[in-house]
Structure 1
């Protein structure tokens, strides 16, 4: 029997037009394998609604055509269902797609779906939010919040915003409880890595795995500003953990206490948390085509 596949398309992700995507997909999707439908999202949260409805109606696959934010909405909707998630990477960084070795070429990514090859991955949970690639607090959450309002999104825009904000950003004190052990740390930022990279091949946790039931907690300690570029280059060289300003602790349960009105990011989308931060892992809870 043919499988029912829905492409949920974010028309504004990554600053690229998706007008011709349905035609491209129809040209390269195996019609002996799939019956395909295509829907464009119209507002924040729409991808979640569309994916949830599709799963309830028995869709075999829902494909997120967008960036990590779109993937987050679709993936969250599919947790606990029998519906698999596909990814056509169209975002600014495409961190999860890169970690899954999904081609950045739309044509190649569509053709890869034809194999209907899937694998289960872990999902992280930060308070009530799911994350699939990366969550965090501190400087990266601050930049995610500022980045959301930029007209010129993309890697270059992100770098420019980071440079403009780093001069005035203040590190803060955190009290973390990781699998029962308490750590007091001054931190520039803390990332909770389900996969190894933010996106654009910037590896914050090179040893992180999507299916090990563990979150890599990456603590970036305060560092001299003249090392800002060097710290960034380490991520591209996969040597971030070799810096004395970086500490990576693996764990299954994390709590950051006495936090009020704190910015976090969930797969790059900024959120305000007005209570303590709690992170856990839901092992092998989402099936993804790759």
Structure 2
């Protein structure tokens, strides 16, 4: 009889959908017990998922499953980066942008069925200085929204939407020098989006042409412009065509360095920071393996 594969489910009890109440019963009901021998570990503090994931990778586990939101997934990626272990996703956060990119929705049964089927794919991840990210990085408006939202104890779409609206109305562009191996830009930009995946939280598609295994980021530079010009481009945003707007410089690259004139906000996978130093994003081709629906 074939030995069962050991997996660990890392569950964030504080995630947007409070999955901690349901995950144990769902795994007992839906996970194929003939294939997998599982254990659940709940995160108790920031970066705990990194520690759990790293321990699993170093002790021969077959897979580590992130049961939470984008933050939990980011920590798992940072814990196992470059190690021979598979990452799975049970989306349970407020946004779950990367899970949506893969076609894994807010349905525990369907997410577990992806793990049962066992289809895998090697994908790229991004690196910002010494931090890895799987979905999106950015500098400017989106990063400030992330920074402010994470300080808000309220979770869900409404606080995120209200914070975004507030920042859009009041945000000032930043002067940046943006360097890639192919070209250099300089000027005032509202935000620079560095996309490995394609979707922010809440199914908000920003980089529809993004491919997870092409060895490149999709980059969108949003130029300084009056608010009304962005408002008349909303239809393109809703049709997932914002990268074709005249307000956006869109290109692909494997490495990008952004040097701000003054202090700016930046983020990786929705975790926001501030800096006045250069920020370097680089792609790590085929760096991790994930369970995928197909």
Aligned residues: 290
Q: Among 32, 35, 39, which residue is 2:34 paired with?
A: 32
Inter-CA distance 128–273: structure 2 relative to 1 (3 Å threshold):
farther
Aligned equivalents of 1:99 and 1:193: distance in 2?
Answer: 12
Q: Trace 1:182-221 onto structure 2 (pairs within 5 A).
A: 182-221=184-223
Structure 2 gap segments, 5+ residues each = none
Deviation of residue 52 (structure 1)?
Answer: 0.3
Partner SS, residue 16 of structure 2: helix
1:94 matched residue in structure 2 = 96
Give the corresponding residue for 1:50.
52
State the SS of the aligned residue for 2:256. Answer: strand
CA shift for structure 1 position 228: 4.8
CA distance in 1, matches of 2:230, 2:4: 52
2:289 maps to 1:265: no
Equivalent residues in 2 for 1:21-170, closer than 5 Å: 21-170=23-172
Runs of 4+ in 1 over 6 A off after TM superposition: none
Shift of 1:156: 2.2
User: Is the deviation greater in 17-26 or in 33-42?
Assistant: 17-26
Query: Cα offset for 1:13?
Result: 1.4
Q: 1:213-234 CA deviation, whole Å, 9 max, x = no partner?
A: 0011111112322355554553
Partner of 1:276: 278
Following superposition, the deviation at residue 71 of structure 1 comes to 0.5
Contact 2:139 2:265 in 1 (8 A): yes
For residue 64 of structure 1, give the secondary structure of its aligned residue in structure 2. strand
Residues 55 and 78 of structure 1 are in contact (CA less than 8 Å); yes or no, is this contact kept in structure 2? yes
Cα-to-partner distance string for 1:239-279 (whole Å, 9 max, x where unaligned): 10122111212101111235664321110011233521111
TM-score, length-scaled by structure 1: 0.95
Counterparts in 2 of 1:64 and 1:258: CA distance versus 1, 3 Å? same
In structure 1, the residue corresponding to 2:249 is in which secondary structure?
strand
1:43 Cα offset (Å): 0.6
With over 3 angstroms needed to count, the CA separation of the structure-2 counterparts of 1:241 and 1:115, relative to structure 1, is same
Quote the residue 2:289 is aligned against: 287
Alignment CA distance shift 1:231-1:161 (3 Å): farther
The answer to whether the 8 Å contact 1:195/1:210 transfers is: yes
Matched residues in 2 for 1:50 and 1:285: separation? 19
TM-score normalised to structure 2 length: 0.94
Q: Deviations over 1:149-184 (max 9, x none)?
A: 223322222111111222221001111111142111
Deviations 1:20-42 (A, max 9, x none): 21111111000000000001100
Q: Which secondary structure does the structure 2 equivalent of 1:36 belong to?
A: strand
Unaligned runs of 5+ in 1: none
In structure 1, what is the equivalent of residue 252 of structure 2?
A: 250
Cα deviation digits, residues 187-227 of structure 1 (max 9, x gap): 11001000112132211111111110001111111232235
Secondary structure of the residue aligned to 2:125 is: strand
Is contact 2:11-2:19 (8 Å) kept?
no
2:19 and 2:34 map into 1 onto residues whose CA distance is 28
1: distance between equivalents of 2:211 and 2:70? Answer: 17
Q: In the aligned structure 2, how far is the partner of 1:244 from the partner of 1:259? A: 24
Q: Whole-Å Cα distance in 1 between the matches of residues 222 and 160 of structure 2?
A: 19
Does the residue aligned with 2:46 lie in a helix, a strand or coil?
Answer: coil
